[in-house]
Amino acid sequence: MNCVFKNAKVFVGNSFSDVDVKVNGGTVSICDSATVYPDGISVIDCAGKFIFPGFADVHVHLREPGFFYKESIETGTMSAARGGFTDVCSMPNLDPVPDNLEHLEAQLDIIRRDARVNVYPYGSITVGRNGNNLADLSSLADKVVAFSDDGSGVQSDEMMRQAMLEAKRLDKIIAAHCEVNELLRGGYIHDGKYAAAHGHKGICSESEWQQIARDIELAAETGCKYHVCHISCKESVDIIRKAKKAGVDITCETAPHYLVFCDEDLQEDGRFKMNPPLRSREDMEALIEGIVDGTIDMIATDHAPHSAEEKNRGLKDSAMGIVGLETAFAACYTRLVKRGIISLEKLIEIMHTNPANRFNIGHDLFDGAGADFTVFDLEKCYIVDGDEFLTKGRATPFIGKELYGRCIMTVCGGEIVWEEGIK
C-alpha cells in the first residue's frame, strides 16, 4: 500500500491532531496536513472521520482448533477487523488445549495461514485447564502472550501460587478467570431479582470476588504480574482498587455488555447468557465508576461465539457466551462518550493504549510505526443486526440496539483488512 489518509482527526500521542497518515508498505508516517505529495500516491479523503491506532482485545475466543463450527481464526479475525481491532489475544479453551508446545503449534499453524489481524495466543496455566497439574509454562513462554485457564478458575491455592511463581520467573502475566466452583450451586444467571422472580438459579457475586481476593494475596506474595478477566460486580471493583493502592501489580478488564446491561434487562433468550452473568444495576454503575477512576484498565470483549442451536435453548439451557468484536467500540462510545461519562481520548486509552502496554501488543501511531490503524465515522448511527456479522456467532444482547460509531476501514500490516464506505 502506498497512499495518504487526509482530513481525518488522528489520534497521535494522547490527543487528536489534524495531520495526514501516509502509508508506505507496512509503515506509517505522520505528515503535516499541508504536505504536497508526488504523483503516484493515492489519496483517501477521510473528511469528518477519525483515525485511531488499532484496538487491542486481550480476551477473545477464536475457537480453533477444536470448535470450528462455532468460529474459526479466519472468521473471528475478520470480525475483529470489522470492529477496528488489529490485535487480539486468543484464549486457550481449545482442543487440544495449548498446554504444551505441540498443542500450541496446532493453533499457531492456523494463525499463520488464516489470521486477518495480529493474533497472540494464551498458554494454559494447567494441563487440560483442569487445575490439577501445572502446564509446561517454560516451553510456551516465548510463544504466548500470557497464561490463563479461562473458563475455569484455578481452585487450588497452592496450584495458583506455583503458577504465579513460575510466571514471575518467566516474566509473564497470569490472566485469571476468577470463579469459586463450590459457590456456583448450579447457577447460570445473576443471583438477583430477575432470578428470584422467574425461578432461575443464580450465581452469587462472591463466587467471583472471593477468588480475586485470594489471587491478590498470592500476587502480592509472589510479585507476579496479575490480570483479572471480565470483572462484573461492585465488590471486585472495590477489591482491585484497594490492591492497586497497596502496590500490587494488578490490572483488570470488563466487557461492554456489563456497562450497558444489567439483570433488569434480561430476557428469556440465550443471547443474554454469559459468564460472568449480567449483574445488578448497582454493579453496572460500580463498573462504570471503575472505568472513570482508572480502577478498570481496559475493555475486553470476551467474544465467545456459539452455534445457533447452542444459543437457541432459552436462558436456562443455552451455552454461556456472546459475540462482541463488531459492536464493542460503538457500544462503549454510545454508552460512555456520547453521554459525557468519559472522553473519546479515555475510550482509546482503555481500548488500545492500556491493553497494548500491559500485554506488549500493538502500538501507537508515530513515524515509522507499523501500519495498524482503524478509521471510524462517529456520526454513523445504525441498528445492530446479527445477520450482518462476519463472525459465525449471532448471539448478543445488542441486537436491535441503536449505536453510534461505524468502522469504515481497518489497516493491519499495511493492508486493508476491512473496508466499508470509503471509495
Mean pLDDT of the chain, nearest integer: 97
Residue in 248, 250, 246 with CA at minimum distance from that of residue 175: 250
> What domains can you pick out in the chain, each with its CATH number?
55-359 (3.20.20.140)
Confidence of residue 422 (pLDDT cuts 50, 70, 90): low
Catalytic residue selected from 215, 302, 372, 377: 302
Confidence of residue 38 (pLDDT cuts 50, 70, 90): confident
Give tens-digit pLDDT for 199-232: 999 999 999 999 999 999 999 999 999 999 999 9
Give tens-digit pLDDT for 74-116: 999 999 999 999 999 999 999 999 999 999 999 999 999 999 9
* Euclidean distance between CA atoms 375 and 65, whole angstroms: 31
* Euclidean distance between CA atoms 231 and 250, whole angstroms: 13
Residue in 109, 205, 222 with CA at minimum distance from that of residue 158: 222
Above 50 in pLDDT, residue 119? yes
* Euclidean distance between CA atoms 65 and 67, whole angstroms: 6
Give tens-digit pLDDT for 286-318: 999 999 999 999 999 999 999 999 999 999 999
Q: What is the pLDDT of residue 27?
A: 96
Confidence of residue 423 (pLDDT cuts 50, 70, 90): very low
* Euclidean distance between CA atoms 25 and 3, whole angstroms: 9
Asked if 302 is an active-site residue, the reply is yes
Q: What is the pLDDT of residue 308?
A: 98
DSSP string for residues in 198-222: HTPPEEPTHHHHHHHHHHHHHHHHH
Give tens-digit pLDDT for 360-417: 999 999 999 999 999 999 999 999 999 999 999 999 999 999 999 999 999 999 999 9
